[in-house]
Amino acid sequence: MSTKLLPALYPLQLVAVADGSLLTVDHISIGTELKAPGGTTKVASTKQELCKEWVEAFFSNRKSLIVTATHSFLAVNGRAVTAGELTIGMKLHGDPHEVEVDGLVRIRTQGKGVFLETAPKALYYIQGVLSCGP
């Protein structure tokens, strides 16, 4: 199976795992199954590196997340959109309903990011928002 390294997530970001619980990204290990539409997607590897720019996004489901600007989400029109391309009012696929972007903050500070490697084009949820692999 071929895999793809996803853009970094903030280490304390909560990610939904297969059993419905939440884990912080820095506690995810090889083999962890992430919650995905209609099933799960398995983490093939993890890696940590310093990242210089982050985007904090706030959503209508009263959740927020911090990711690198290159992290991708799935818009309701079916197009993948990066965190750097998000705009207030944009609608994204969520769990179980679509969510709207309510606020955005660019954070320009160096910090450790956690990269998860999954199958290419994998879909998974973070904070109830559908993320997609490159």
Asked if residues 85 and 115 have their Cβ atoms less than 8 Å apart, the reply is: no
Collect all residues with Cβ–Cβ distance below 8 Å to 78 and sequence separation of at least 6: none
What is the number of other CB atoms lying within 10 angstroms of the CB of residue 35?
21
pTM > 0.85: no
Q: In what order do the strands lie in the sheet with 91-92?
A: 64-68, 54-59, 99-107, 91-92
Mean pLDDT of 72-79: 91
What's the pLDDT at 7? Answer: 64
Number of structural domains in the chain: 1
Whether the pLDDT of residue 4 is over 60: the answer is no
Mean pLDDT of 63-91: 91
- Give the CATH number of the domain where residue 52 resides: 2.170.16.10
Residue 24 domain boundaries: 4-132
- Tell me what percent of the residues of the chain surpass a pLDDT of 70: 93
Selected residue with higher pLDDT from 126 and 104: 104
Please give the distance of CA 78 from its chain centroid, rounded to a whole number: 16
For the four alpha carbons of 51, 120, 71 and 30, in that order, the dihedral sign comes to negative
